[in-house]
Structure 1
């Protein structure tokens, strides 16, 4: 995996093979950040990276100037790897080892962008809990967006606050916004 753009552009990050992750592909990540680049100034936003895994998305935001990044994952190895990588690159990424759903139930902070990359084998009911908790607990700023990454075989268009989806290969990003 590599950082696509920003001050760490081109840097390769090698995650330990034992981590239970499926990093977002470079092609999908580049397409996603092209969309976000047209909507946000990265140094003015706060980001919540859920199911953060290797921290791939968090590093991309940090490389582009975002300083308020929180990465949440239940796996200790993932959190340890993100902390080590963030320290090596001098990135300001706060990590929280927690079940994502419990975190969303208890969080009181608001974010500009919430990115969730749950396991692709979640059923629609499990996927639906993410936007449900984000909007129920008012975790997005007024102009914020929730982005859920999932397989192209999963359809989230019937969920409340759904705005649109973009597909890149086998990856799909569904965008949810405050109505």
Structure 2
């Protein structure tokens, strides 16, 4: 796994050594960030990023590499926490990236509101709506924040009430939903 664009382009990220973490592929990350740059007026530049179910942190690190101001990486797993800490150290971005080890569906109050959120939960468990609702309730999202949800292609709607779906794109067995927080 590597960063595919921005100042850290080509830098390698540590991958999972056991089952349970499914990183977004380099190819899909490149496609997502191309959409964000061209269809959503470069939503990454200067963004405060929330990465729910962060896993390896690849989505947040990619956003930081491409000009995001700060990132909050949320994952409760021990392996994920170790991988994220390793990524923060390797990239030297401790001043811009913060690991928050907790359940993404029970966030509590936010340290800051994000303008861009990624939500890449384990597929087929219907966790995205609960995590996004928790983010909204805890003040983790700015009004109008762009949300990007990755889920299995056959999944139904992934946005809870209070979010508007903008578009849904298919990438093989994966569907990516782009939406806005209406709060």
- Shorter-chain TM band: 0.7 to 0.9
From the superposition, tell whether residues 141 and 51 of structure 1 become closer, same or farther in structure 2 (CA, over 3 Å): same
Q: Is the 8 A contact 1:111 1:144 kept in 2?
A: yes
From the superposition, tell whether residues 153 and 44 of structure 1 become closer, same or farther in structure 2 (CA, over 3 Å): same
Q: Give the corresponding residue for 1:113.
A: 116
User: What are structure 1's unaligned runs of at least 5 residues?
Assistant: none
Superposition deviation, residue 73 in structure 1: 0.3
2: CA distance between counterparts of 1:108 and 1:157?
25
Deviations 1:28-49 (A, max 9, x none): 1111101111323534110000
Structure with greater helix percent: 1
> Scaled by the length of structure 2, what TM-score is found?
0.85
Runs of 4+ in 1 over 4 A off after TM superposition: none
5 Å matches for 1:60-99?
60-91=62-93, 92-99=96-103
Q: Is the 8 A contact 2:114 2:145 kept in 1?
A: yes
Q: Give the corresponding residue for 1:3.
A: 3
> Scaled by the length of structure 1, what TM-score is found?
0.87
| Aligned pair partner of 1:173 in 149, 169, 176 | 176
Deviations 1:49-94 (A, max 9, x none): 0100011101101211223101010012211221122111112310
Q: Is the 8 A contact 2:106 2:131 kept in 1?
A: no
2:30 is the alignment partner of 1:27? no
2:143 is the alignment partner of 1:139? no
